[in-house]
Chains A and B, each alone.
Chain A
Amino acid sequence: MKKLLPLIFLAAVTAGCDVKIPSEGAQAGFSAVGYAAPLSAGEFSSLAPEQQYRVANKLLGTLYRGVPVADFFDLSRGMKQLVPKEGGGFLASVEAALSTPLDSETRNHFDTLISGDEAAGIEARFSFRQRPKELPLARMFEYPLSKDMFDHWIAWHLANTILFSPAEEIDSANINDVQKVYTKLVADLRNNKSIRQIIARHQRSQENWRRFRSPEDNTREMIEIYLGLFDRDEDVPRASIACKDLYLSDEDQGYELLSTGSPNTEPQLVLGHYVTTCDDFYDLIAGHPLVIGRVTTVLVEYFFAGRSNADRLRIVESITASNPVTFEDIFKGIIFSRQYLLSTERPRSFEESFFGAAHRLEWDPPRDLFQGVVSNRGSASRAYMAEMNWPTMTLKLGRLFGIPMDSLSFANYHKGYREVLLINRDRWRRGLGLIPAGEPAEDATAEERHRYEINRERYAMVEQMGVNDFIDYLFLGAELRRATGVEKSALTTIARDENYVRTRSGKLVIREGYHDDFARLVFDYISRLPESYYFKAID
């Protein structure tokens, strides 16, 4: 046998099921110790300003967010001397924000902004076609950094992995299962339920049975998915006897999880423990010593995809040795770690690229954005993630462990990123301050007035920039680095040929009204760079 059984666990054979499911909630200020230790404020401060910006946006990009150049830096001294506004406190402020729930009034405000309120005459900012799959992205896009936003992001990840995929693709599941799986995960996270509690709850759900649809299928997959134990053909039949009273009705009866009313009464030896009923079995899985290591492994596989197997094992060991209790603990352990922020280089998912850049460029999303990304409808359908082999909460065993970068998937990824976002100048030119916004109307909202003021400041700043500073401003926002001399020269030559620039008092300047044309050229170039699709390492 190639894979040795976990001896420590098999040694603990007991008569009768006495597995306890710990119920502690999230640990305030959890951080991993050892190899996966967090990046400290001092280490962050010691990085060059541009590196700080890259690290900040690696963290935020991972969360499908981003911070614009003009917000991160004090640009009053120009692009040549970048000064971070927040300094070493940036990471701590993000961590604090992710731990702080929105008050109900704020949450309602953003939900109303997203979905509208017909009675109050408030128009929805977004339209939806498959709401259960699209609304989560809208919330992550619009909510301020907060525990609420973080909970949605965690639930999104979990529901797209093998751990909790609703498997909408299979006959017995449908969009309602997507909604149930996702909303229950969010509710559990909001209530700081432990990993083991969430797994224990999910296993018993009809949604889980609609994915794994017979006692043998269900028990086999629980052992594989939550414990990482494959080839347990000895245990599966016994586990399925413990669950023999449960079955899924057929299509005509709505694929309901039903019981025959005749539960098993003979104790069955499964994974070294005796279980009698399906409840016993599910508790055995949820309380098993391998659970935390297994779920950590699944998540580390994704976030540290560019690292060696030995490194990933060390990261898993480091996080699990720090005794995480909640999914929040594990996710924070991963994304705030020095190893992730400084030393990991990997392809970005489409969400990480697209929404990260959208926030950095203050991109104004179309109303049907999420229909396009998730459901292949409307003006943003070129960014349909399923065509990138990256469908939403669809696959029976969740998304692949690595970002699909085969030729077809990547072609769709590039095309969606480039055409829907990077060269779509109508949606970023105001946010970046490349054209002046019109005066707000009398009845403009506070947010609209705030945006107007931001635009005024940025427009005034951009107007003063020389060509090289302007290119750097665009490069930092979209590519998280300055342009090289060769790039500046080549792009300026194209811009000169296109009459985007002219010489004034012996200096090359951008012609009034052509900043957005020039920016589109730069962003088109950036979209063609292989590096644009990766989170980079710093060290």
Chain B
Amino acid sequence: MKRRAFIKSLGALGATLTLPSLFSSEPLIRRVAAAPALDEVHFVPPRVMPQVINVFLYGGPSELAGNLTNIEDINANSQNPYPGSMLRPTGDNSGRITRNGLWSNAGGEAMEEMLAAGDMSIYRTVYRRKNNTRAHRPSIFSCLTGSLDIDHSPGMGTTLAAVLYKNQAALGKPLDQMVLPFVSFEGASTAFISDPDNPLPLGLRSISLDQKFDNPYSRNGNQFGAALESLVRQMSTGADKRYPKAFAGFKTRRELEGLIDGFANELRDDSSLPVLPEGDVDAGDGGRLVYPNTRYTDRIKAAVTLAIANPDSLFITVGGGLGGWDDHNSAIDEYTRRMQDLMATLRAATKHIKYANRPGGTGNIIINVFGDFGRNVNLNNSMGWDHGNNQNLYTFGGADVRPPNALGKIVGKTERFGSSKQNRQFTRPTDDSYEFEPTAIAATVYSWFGVQNPEVLTRDQEFAPDGEKAIDETLPGEPPLFS
């Protein structure tokens, strides 16, 4: 199925679809989900409806790929030395520091290209000052719920859905006619923790998809399907209350059975990938975009394909196992490879989005990449980095949604602190630097979708009574490290 026909088929399906999924990322005994202050939201429909792909790097990635500006000081104080090449600019004997202070072979070259093309920005000072923690669970939950009140807050995707549902009269298209508005490519996601006190209609809850759009929703040996389904419907009175998760799962299964094959065809059909400008490093035969073969490609390509093919997919989460970025040992080689793969994949993804031929364009599609927290900068005796605080936000695309000059820059300055030759050494924002809390990323997502006062959705009575403002995307970037 070609894209246009496929998109059309989605639109036709939209009127009848309700696509539920109930996630159960329930932590140890806790009270769940007090509704954020939906009634206090000042909502103005966005001029362009965004589509956000939230890539979460579980485990907490080091900031160094995007920030070698302090590496000399870091190395001088580290218990174990960094490779000498990391202390030299790229022009000096295979050094690794790029023009903007990125780590060249940890995705730095790809990032430099995307910065120059105006396809990305880096915020170097995502810094947790409120209720600071270096533990995975509270860090993940606060990042993905957009709240420090992690035991009482729904996921940011759930909050976003609730805001849009409450304000759907102001939206151009009825929300209940949207197809797959909230999607996870990571199964149960903290970003979609539900709010049992304020359940959303089934169609606005997230559904999870396989990155290859495999179709487990089909049934083999189904010769009595219609008759049995009829009997099941007859016998399922009350099942939605008593067995809600399986009930919702079956409902989704019925509705996705045919739909998923359409996405799979789109994903497999490389002829739907855009033709790139002549000489582009990511162009293959005929100048068509070729994604690199990395561990991240399947999920990110699937998320981007879905976003382009289906403008109704408003918030998509992509993640992985917790072990991925938790680099406590042997960090440099592994981290370098991972970041190189990740940024090469994201470079292809940004080109996929930028050059896609979609009516209305694709300048509304944004990819955000961040993690639990940053890491410390001392190389420990296992040659790794332990849990830290300061991290980067890598954000891509979305020129039609953001203010002017929001892309193509690096914002934030850092300095090292901590006792020399001790493990606990970190970076932090300098006194004159812009900085924001990790929960401000959720605030920013809400603002893109029309929330004028995201503070009310991100506040915590005890630690953040004023909530978080959206990131100030109008700030100028830092000058290059080298000319």
Contact = CB atoms under 8 A, between A and B. Distances in A.
State yes or no: do A and B come from one complex: yes
Interface of A: 2, 167, 169-172, 212-217, 220, 224, 228, 230-231, 233, 236-237, 240, 244, 247-248, 250-251, 255, 260, 297-298, 301, 305, 309, 312-313, 316, 345, 347, 387, 389, 395-397, 400-412, 414-415, 418-419, 423, 484, 486-487, 490-491, 494, 521, 524-525, 528-534
B321 A395 contact: yes
A510 B214 CA distance: 39
Nearest to A168: B323
Most buried by A among B248, B329, B383, B387: B329
Interface stretch (B83-91, B239-247, B346-354, B446-454): B239-247
Contacts of A529: 232, 235-236, 239
B330 A410 contact: no
B246 A405 contact: yes
Contact of B423 (A212, A240, A309): A240
A534 B22 CA distance: 15
A525 B29 CA distance: 36
Contact of A418 (B23, B219, B245, B384): B219
Given A407-B248, A529-B236, A530-B242, 7 more contacts: A217-B328, A220-B135, A231-B135, A237-B424, A406-B184, A419-B220, A423-B221
Interface string B180-217: 00001001100000000000000000111110000011
Contacts of B138: 230-231
A313 B29 contact: yes
Interface string B228-264: 1111101110010011011111101100100000000
A423 B242 CA distance: 26
A408 B384 CA distance: 35
B247 to A, nearest CB: 4
Contacts of B5: none
Contacts of B382: 213-214, 247-248, 250
Contacts of B253: 407, 410-411, 414
A529 to B, nearest CB: 6
B482 interface: no
A402 B221 CA distance: 30
Given A170-B323, A231-B133, A400-B188, A407 B24 contact: no
A169 B323 contact: yes
A250 B381 CA distance: 10
A405 B24 CA distance: 7
B329 A214 contact: yes
Given A240-B423, A407-B21, A528 B245 contact: no
Contacts of B133: 230-231, 233
A528 B232 contact: yes
25 contacts: A169-B321, A214-B329, A215-B380, A215-B381, A230-B138, A240-B386, A312-B29, A345-B242, A389-B188, A395-B321, A400-B25, A404-B24, A406-B23, A406-B184, A406-B206, A408-B187, A408-B208, A410-B245, A410-B252, A411-B252, A419-B220, A490-B230, A521-B224, A529-B232, A529-B235
B143 to A, nearest CB: 15
A407 B229 contact: no
B326 interface: yes
A224 B243 contact: no
B323 A410 contact: no
A282 B249 CA distance: 44
A10 B55 CA distance: 40
Most interface-central of B132, B134, B231, B462 (chain A CB within 10 A): B231
Contacts of B207: 406-408
A387 B216 contact: yes
Interface-centre pick from A216, A231, A418 (highest chain B CB count, 10 A) = A216
B151 to A, nearest CB: 8
A212 B387 CA distance: 12
B386 A396 contact: no
Contact of B29 (A169, A301, A410): A301
Nearest to A231: B133
A305 B479 CA distance: 54
Contacts of A531: 239, 242-243, 246
Contacts of B73: none
B173 interface: no
A425 to B, nearest CB: 10
A121 B22 CA distance: 51
A403 B21 CA distance: 13
Given A309-B31, A402-B26, A396 B246 contact: no
Residue from A228, A230, A486 whose CB has the most chain B CB atoms within 10 Å:
A230
In the A-B complex, the 6 residue pairs with the smallest Cβ-Cβ separation, listed nearest first, are A410-B249, A170-B323, A405-B245, A402-B24, A530-B246, A530-B243
Contacts of B221: 419, 423, 524
A225 B70 CA distance: 34
B76 interface: no
B334 interface: yes
A539 B380 CA distance: 56
Given A214-B381, A396-B323, A533-B246, A233 B29 contact: no
A176 B434 CA distance: 48
A233 B188 contact: no
A171 B334 contact: yes
B47 interface: no
A298 B330 CA distance: 31
A412 B26 contact: no
A349 to B, nearest CB: 12
A486 B234 CA distance: 9
B191 to A, nearest CB: 12
Contacts of B25: 400, 402
Interface string B368-403: 000000000000111110110000000000000000
B210 A484 contact: no
Contact of A251 (B228, B235, B242, B330): B330
A93 B386 CA distance: 51
A212 B384 CA distance: 12
Contacts of A305: 26
Nearest to A423: B221
B254 to A, nearest CB: 10
| Max chain A Cβ within 10 angstroms of own Cβ: one of B25, B137, B386 | B386
B22 A406 contact: yes
A115 B256 CA distance: 41
Contacts of A345: 242
Contact of A309 (B30, B208, B246, B384): B30
Contacts of B277: none
A230 B27 CA distance: 13
B227 interface: yes
Given A216-B386, A301-B28, A411-B249, A525 B329 contact: no
B28 A401 contact: yes
B100 to A, nearest CB: 29
A529 B235 CA distance: 8
A400 B132 CA distance: 25
A524 B31 CA distance: 38
A397 B246 CA distance: 25
B44 interface: no
A396 B326 contact: yes
Contacts of A423: 221
A396 B320 CA distance: 11
A75 B246 CA distance: 33
B322 interface: yes
